[in-house]
Amino acid sequence: MQEIRHTPTAPTRAQLLAPGAGIDAHRHDDHQIVYAGRGVVAVTTHAGTWIAPATRALWIPAGTVHAHEAHGDLELHLVGLPAADNPLGLAEPTVLAVGPLLRELILAYTRAPHDDSPERARLRAVLLDQLRASAQQPLHLPAPTVPLLTELCAILRADPADPSTLAELGRRVGASDRTLSRLIKADLGMTFPQWRTQLRLHHALVLLAEGAPVTAVAHRCGWSSASTFIDVFRRAFGHTPGTTARQ
């Protein structure tokens, strides 16, 4: 079993990670904000995966075992906050919307000298205020705990564009669509179409970060047309896939 690294204090810093690079599973006694100034960052815990482009940040509660993975050239910004300082009151990993002001605050806070100056204290206070005002985003891809669902989800992870219905997938794993639908709702907390859409959106972010054209991403992720993909993507992230690709 891999040893889980324990770092009592969550670091506040900016660092660059090459595509495919990562930070192995670890935990902190502090909360942490994870933000991709460039590229896309994926954070995985026992409960699943959260993924965020430059318009989103990830809130990682104190004590949560998590690992990072870079997609595209990742400019990673980490902000550590003491466990007693929880401006959001969140006990679970959460994706937060990042507007222009919050983005600049995170970049400035992770790049500025780490001192006890009044200027840094004011910067931190405004950063916390902006975090409190950030909307939470349902961009979590839950990890199944039921073996039958693990097998089914692995099929779709291997090929997100697989158009098979739940009944057709059920024949491949040896279960009825009714049984699978019930298990998915109970284990993953969402319906099968919702989970598959989340999977496809996550895969789309990865492909966009790697420089794939929008039309190719749409087809590789299972959408029948680029326009349908753009519409679903805009509703999920608040901007078009082309904006993510440029960022």
**pLDDT of the residue at 116:** 83
Of 60, 77, 68, the closest CA to residue 44 belongs to: 68
CB atoms within 10 A of CB 142: 17
pLDDT at 69: 92
Number of domains forming the structure of the chain: 2
- Backbone angle region of 32, left / alpha / beta, with phi > 0 → left and psi within -120 to 50 → alpha: beta
Among 140, 159, 177, the domain boundary falls at 140
Q: Show which of 116, 140, 164 is a domain's final residue.
A: 140
| pLDDT number for residue 190 | 92
Give the C-alpha separation, 187 to 2, whole Å: 26
At 1 the pLDDT is 39
Check whether residue 168 and residue 182 sit in a common domain: yes
Domain that holds residue 169: 144-246
Rounded distance between C-alpha atoms, residue 190 and residue 1, angstroms? 31
**Which of these three, 91, 113, 140, is where a domain ends?**
140
The pLDDT score that the predictor gives to residue 51 is: 86
Cβ burial 24-36 (10 Å sphere, 16+ → b, else e): ebbbbebbbbbbb
Closest by CA position to 26, among listed 59, 62, 67, 60: 67
Strand partners, 60: 32
Low-confidence ranges of the chain (pLDDT < 70): 1-3, 138, 244-247
One domain, residues 130 and 180: no
Cα(91)–Cα(85) distance, integer angstroms: 12
- 153 and 130 part of one domain: no
> What's residue 114's pLDDT?
81
What lies within 8 Å, CB to CB, of 126 at 6+ separation is 105
